[in-house]
């Protein structure tokens, strides 16, 4: 039987989008977050129940999607201070889909913790941003037992069925996390090199709107260049995804590479660029603000 009762933990941009997509798809949707505003927003959108602590309705759930920021938050939500978190309150057999961006090692530790409570885990990071999450068009990179994919089909249809895609990376917990880590390596370096290229163009006296137009119509384009350098051309660094997110994610990338004894020269350089941007006080600006680490250039101002 496919899942009907699902709870999203962490109602940020991605989590809120995922939860609303579940409501639209007709699932009995629950939500948990520390923000009263987010809870009220989801309740108004048609959630069955919302709460700051999902233990309040844990016994009603068949699946949980955990979309908090990092591994530490995942562990706190599920296991609390003394194994008294949500995991202790869920019915045996409930599926916990861990969708935060975390290291493979953390995914394996979390799986072991869940197994102690007879809970099932999908190691299933997501990608696509808030807009796609809201449209039910997320990309899901999932590892876990085959039968879990079947039971989760209704949830996958809800969050990805409208133009997204669910990848089955295999049974081994940690493989989903690793695929996301490799993806973030590309995403982070693409933003940093987009900034480096536009900074060089500015130094060479090339109008940045023309440079943007050329690149987005040629083989030098990337999804991130096209998305983020628009912010630079417009001089608008309102954060959609902040510099500090890539300090965190490229940190995870380098941790993962180090644990595999593997060199990643470009990602290591990009991490240094984002870290420097953060130390310049730009951590909460849009990640494209990494371009401001290049001195001696004049960038477009917001109109």
- Work out which of 270, 271, 277, 291 binds a copy of itself, going by CB under 8 A: 270
- Work out which of 261, 298, 301, 303 binds a copy of itself, going by CB under 8 A: 261
| CA–CA separation, 276 and 264 (whole Å) | 18
Question: Segment near a copy of itself (CB under 8 A), from 1-9, 42-50, 121-129, 278-286?
Answer: 121-129
**Contact status: 197 vs a copy of itself (CB under 8 A):** yes
Partnered with residue 50 across adjacent β-strands are 31
How many residues bind a copy of itself (CB under 8 A)? The answer is 67
Q: Which C-beta is closer to a copy of itself: that of 146 or that of 262? A: 262
Q: Which C-beta is closer to a copy of itself: that of 48 or that of 240? A: 240
Question: Segment near a copy of itself (CB under 8 A), from 8-16, 45-53, 86-94, 222-230?
Answer: 222-230
CB 187 within 8 A of CB 224: yes
**Contact status: 248 vs a copy of itself (CB under 8 A):** no
**Contact status: 223 vs a copy of itself (CB under 8 A):** yes
CB 294 within 8 A of CB 204: no
**Contact status: 39 vs a copy of itself (CB under 8 A):** no
First to last CA, the chain: 54
**Contact status: 18 vs a copy of itself (CB under 8 A):** no
| CA–CA separation, 217 and 33 (whole Å) | 42
CB 25 within 8 A of CB 157: yes
Q: Which C-beta is closer to a copy of itself: that of 26 or that of 220? A: 220
At residue 58, what are phi and psi to the nearest 5 degrees? -55, -35
**Contact status: 175 vs a copy of itself (CB under 8 A):** yes
Of 162, 172, 122, nearest to 142 (Cα)?
122
Q: Is 78 exposed, middle or buried (0-12, 13-18, 19+ CB in 10 A)?
A: buried
- Work out which of 1, 219, 302, 303 binds a copy of itself, going by CB under 8 A: 219
- The rounded Cα 292 to chain-centroid distance in angstroms is 25
Catalytic residue from among 20, 132, 180, 292: 180
3-state secondary structure of 225: helix
CB 271 within 8 A of CB 253: yes
- Say how many C-beta atoms besides its own lie within 10 A of residue 189's C-beta: 24
* Residue 180 annotated among the catalytic residues of the structure: yes
| CA–CA separation, 68 and 282 (whole Å) | 23
Partnered with residue 299 across adjacent β-strands are none
**Contact status: 178 vs a copy of itself (CB under 8 A):** yes
Residue list 56-115, contact with a copy of itself (CB under 8 A): 104
Q: Which C-beta is closer to a copy of itself: that of 62 or that of 249? A: 249
Of 195, 191, 202, nearest to 300 (Cα)?
202
Q: Which C-beta is closer to a copy of itself: that of 1 or that of 204? A: 204
Minimum distance of a copy of itself from residue 253's CB (angstroms): 8
Please name the residue that has the structure tokens 């660094």.
237
**Contact status: 139 vs a copy of itself (CB under 8 A):** yes
| CA–CA separation, 225 and 130 (whole Å) | 18
Minimum distance of a copy of itself from residue 52's CB (angstroms): 31
Give the footprint of a copy of itself on this chain (CB under 8 A): 104, 127-129, 139, 141, 165, 167, 169-170, 175, 178-179, 181-187, 189-190, 192-194, 196-201, 203-207, 210-211, 213-215, 217-225, 227, 256-257, 260-267, 269-270, 272-273, 294, 296
Active site residues: 180
């Amino acid at each position: 039987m496919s899942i009907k009762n699902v709870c999203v933990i962490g109602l940020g941009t991605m989590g809120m989008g995922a939860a609303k997509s579940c409501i639209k798809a007709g699932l009995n949707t629950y939500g948990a977050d520390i923000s009263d505003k987010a809870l009220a927003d989801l309740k108004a959108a048609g959630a069955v129940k919302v709460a700051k602590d999902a233990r309040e309705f844990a016994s009603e759930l068949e699946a949980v999607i955990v979309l908090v920021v990092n591994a530490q938050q995942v562990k706190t939500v599920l296991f609390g201070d003394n194994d008294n978190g949500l995991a202790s309150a869920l019915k045996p057999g409930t599926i916990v889909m861990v969708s935060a961006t975390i290291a493979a090692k953390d995914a394996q530790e979390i799986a072991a913790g869940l197994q102690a409570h007879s809970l099932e885990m999908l190691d299933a990071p997501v990608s696509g941003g808030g807009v796609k999450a809201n449209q039910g068009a997320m990309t899901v990179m999932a590892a876990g037992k085959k039968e879990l994919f079947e039971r989760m089909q209704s949830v996958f249809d809800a969050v990805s069925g409208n133009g997204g895609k669910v990848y089955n990376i295999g049974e081994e917990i940690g493989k989903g996390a690793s695929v996301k880590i490799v993806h973030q390596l590309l995403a982070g370096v693409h933003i940093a090199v987009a900034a480096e290229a536009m900074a060089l163009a500015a130094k060479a006296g090339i109008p940045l709107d023309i440079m943007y137009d050329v690149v987005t119509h040629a083989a030098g384009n990337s999804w991130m260049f096209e998305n983020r350098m628009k912010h630079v051309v417009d001089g608008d660094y309102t954060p959609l995804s902040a510099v500090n997110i890539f300090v965190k994610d490229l940190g995870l990338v380098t941790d993962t590479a180090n644990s595999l004894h593997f060199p990643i020269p470009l990602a290591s350089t990009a991490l240094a660029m984002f870290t420097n941007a953060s130390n310049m006080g730009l951590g909460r600006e849009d990640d494209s603000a990494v371009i401001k680490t290049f001195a001696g250039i004049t960038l477009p101002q917001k109109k």
